[in-house]
Amino acid sequence: MGECVGCCLTLLDHVISRHPMKILATCALTIICGYVGACSYIESSRSSAYEAVNIGNTKESVMSLFKAEPIVERADGESFTRYASSKCTECTERLWFENRLTLDTRAWSVDIDETGTVISKAEWTSP
């Protein structure tokens, strides 16, 4: 077993010393593909969850659909102005679900009334 590990390390050292730019390019490409893949996955799952939300759903069902912890904007609290310039006037809470990998350019919000029921929803895209 020890010989196998030593042989692998020798081979790895040989490959890295002979092809450092290929290794660097492969690592960079892997990171970029991982980032794009993760961003696309979040976008797809949040968009699907948003489409499944209906007026009249409960707050709990919304949380279950999104499978993510929202940022909660309360009517009597501070505004969450990353996407919207005004607060919700008819709701007691606005639940924000973001795709932070898009550098704060994409979010979905769901407005909840005092009974814990969805009264409206919106998609937000920031320039």
pLDDT score recorded for residue 5: 60
56 torsion bin: left (phi>0), alpha (psi -120 to 50), beta (else): left
DSSP secondary structure letters along 61-83: HHHHHHTSPPEEEETTS---TTT
For tokens 């904007």, what's the residue? 73
pLDDT in tens, the chain (127 residues): 556 666 666 766 766 677 778 778 888 888 998 888 888 888 889 999 999 999 999 999 999 999 999 999 998 888 887 877 778 888 999 999 998 777 768 899 999 999 999 999 999 887 6
pLDDT score recorded for residue 76: 84
- Compute CA distances 41 → 33, 46, 99, whole Å: 12, 8, 10
Q: Give the residues across from 98 on adjacent strands.
A: 107
Contact 91, 119 (CB under 8 A): yes
User: Domain ranges in the chain?
Assistant: 19-125
